[in-house]
Amino acid sequence: MNAAELVDSFSEFKEFKNIDRPTMMRVLEDVFRTLIRKKYGSDDNFDVIVNTDKGDLEIWRIREIVHNGEVEDPLSEISFDDSQKVDADYEIGEELYEKVELMHFGRRAVLAARQTLISRILELEKDEVYKKYKDRVGEIITAEVYQIWKKELLCLDDDGNELILPKMEMIGADFFKKGEQVRAIVKRVDLKNNNPVIILSRTDKLFLAKLLELEVPEIFDGLINIKRIEREPGERAKVAVESYDDRIDPVGACVGMKGSRIHGIVRELKNENIDIINFTNNDQLFISRALSPAKILSMDLDLESKRASVYLKPEEVSKAIGKGGLNIKLASRLTGYELDVYRDLEDDDVDIDIDEFADEIEEWMIDELKNIGCDTAKSVLELSVSELVRRTDLEQESVEEILKILREEFEQDNSAGA
């Protein structure tokens, strides 16, 4: 293998790895200086010239021409007679430049140098990838799905670097095919067996924050600040924003005209419902906003235990709790308060929607009651046990338990009012 072939093999390798030119030259020079030291004992009197653009590599040995018989150091000096064999124009005191061919080092040494070269480049590439992505943690990137495994996706960036998107970092409704583009944030960069492992995420709160930053210029420019974010990926999210400019409505700016700005983010997050609210240091007002779309009647705060008792009209309770308790869970995390929701029954005429008891009565039983026109608590209580058993598919024991739950609810509310 000659010098050109060796440099060419490096150049081909380099094309895929995007290592900068000065680093290439430094690595090549280091490898060949090691080769020189092994053969000659020192590389002090050698020049290694690398031209990666042309694929050229030259090694020149430099020695001073001295009188015959006065050579003290063969590495740095050459006798006049020996210099004449190279070129008859040389004179005593001049420096003789002699080109060293790779074949002079021997085939084994050259092959070992090539292997060392590749190892060095691989290590450098790992370092470059690690540094590059360590600096990009928290940034959104777009990558191509390369392989789909049971627990994760293997993606490739524009430079061919491998990125991992674990299933647990994907939204439930995410479904990607090989070759598709996926957007995610760089969550972290791990080192496994000295190899960088870049972990992506689509469920992280920061992913939503960065999407908002991309869609809302006021956030990017720093005029609007995202104070807090809580989300259940793919289901619902709550974002508290604050404006540093009184002329800017932070909620309106984030939503956009007719929802133009928020719709793109909702689609990216697989129809995740996003509630944008104004941040405030007034805890009571902040809790009220966080429980949107429910409208609160009154509230008792325990600042020491960070607990809030919230009172609403019966028809507002289901809105406050949300499907599967999602709304109140996110509101609690956003505000930092444990939230207890209560129905505020102002008089005996107030009724309660039967769906409000979904936590205590099984859904199919509620459906049975609604099928006979009993869609409120009082409409059920007006019927006897035997009537309910006759008109539904419910057992007597189940009917009695349902009536007990409904009566206790009204008794609790009446005693609270007293």
- Give the DSSP letter of residue 376: B
What pLDDT was estimated at residue 119?
79
**Does residue 114 sit in the same domain as residue 164?**
no
Length of the chain: 418
Q: Are residues 121 and 158 in the same domain?
A: no
> Which of 114, 131, 148 marks a domain boundary?
131
In-domain check, residue 86: yes
The predicted structure's pLDDT at residue 16: 45
Q: What pLDDT is recorded for position 8?
A: 57
Tens-level pLDDT at each residue, the chain (418 residues) = 455 555 555 455 545 455 666 777 777 788 888 888 888 888 888 888 776 565 567 788 888 888 888 888 888 888 888 888 888 888 888 888 888 777 777 777 777 777 777 777 778 788 888 888 999 999 999 999 999 999 999 999 988 889 999 999 999 899 999 999 999 999 999 888 888 999 999 999 999 999 999 999 999 999 999 999 999 999 999 999 999 888 889 999 999 888 889 999 999 999 999 999 999 999 999 999 999 888 888 889 888 899 999 988 887 888 888 888 899 999 999 999 999 988 876 544 567 788 878 878 888 999 889 888 888 888 888 888 988 988 888 999 999 999 988 888 777 655 544 4
- How many whole angstroms separate alpha carbon 299 and alpha carbon 200? 41
Among 92, 115, 131, residue at a domain's last position: 131
Q: Identify the burial level of 166 via C-beta atoms within 10 angstroms of its C-beta, where 0-12 means exposed, 13-18 middle and 19 or more buried.
A: middle
CA 223, chain centre distance (Å): 24
Please check whether residues 8 and 105 belong to one and the same domain. yes
Provide the domain count of the chain: 4
Q: Is 240 among the domain residues?
A: yes
What does the alpha-carbon distance between residue 200 and residue 166 come to, in Å, rounded to a whole number? 7
Full domain range(s) for residue 28: 3-131
Residue closest to 241 by CA, chosen among 263, 215, 267, 260: 215
Beta bridge partners of 273: 236
Q: Are residues 102 and 19 in the same domain?
A: yes
* Spatial distance between the Cα atoms of 414 and 349, rounded to a whole number of angstroms: 12
Q: How much is the pLDDT for 38?
A: 84
Please name the residue ranges forming H helices in 74-106. 80-86
Structural domain includes residue 219: no
- For the residues of 276-310, what is the DSSP string, one character each? EEE--S-HHHHHHHHTTTS-EEEEEEETTTTEEEE
- Specify whether the CB–CB gap between 102 and 2 falls below 8 A: yes
Distance separating alpha carbons of residues 72 and 369, to the nearest angstrom: 111
> Does some domain include residue 318?
yes
Residue 377 lies in a domain: yes
Do 25 and 108 share a domain, yes or no?
A: yes
**Residue at 221 is within a domain:** no
**Global model pTM greater than 0.75:** no
Could you tell me the CATH number of the domain that includes residue 61?
3.30.1480
